[in-house]
Amino acid sequence: MDIEETIRAIIDQHRSIDFVESEFQRQLNDDEKLKEAYMDWCEELGLSPKTGYVDYIEEILESENSVWDSLSEFGEDDG
């Protein structure tokens, strides 16, 4: 089970960080295999299980916003 793919799928469906966090937490609570995979993922990356998914979600959304900001700035320069 790929944690990053799971989180990205939720992000693709819902752009709200609060919703993504709560939905992933709900899935962790409902699926023991997902929870085990998440714990392994956190250990591999040296992340805290308490905040690892939140950090990853924020990183993804900030990265995507940065891309859009760069494209917007590029478009303004063409003006």
Secondary structure in 3-state letters for the chain: CCHHHHHHHHHHHCCCHHHHHHHHHHHHHHCHHHHHHHHHHHHHHCCCCCCHHHHHHHHHHHHHHHHHHHHHHHHHHHC
Tell me what pLDDT residue 26 has: 96
Q: Render pLDDT for 23-36 as a digit per residue (tens, 0 to 9).
A: 999 999 999 999 99
- Spell out the domain ranges in the chain: 3-71
Q: Render pLDDT for 37-63 as a digit per residue (tens, 0 to 9).
A: 999 999 999 999 999 999 999 999 888
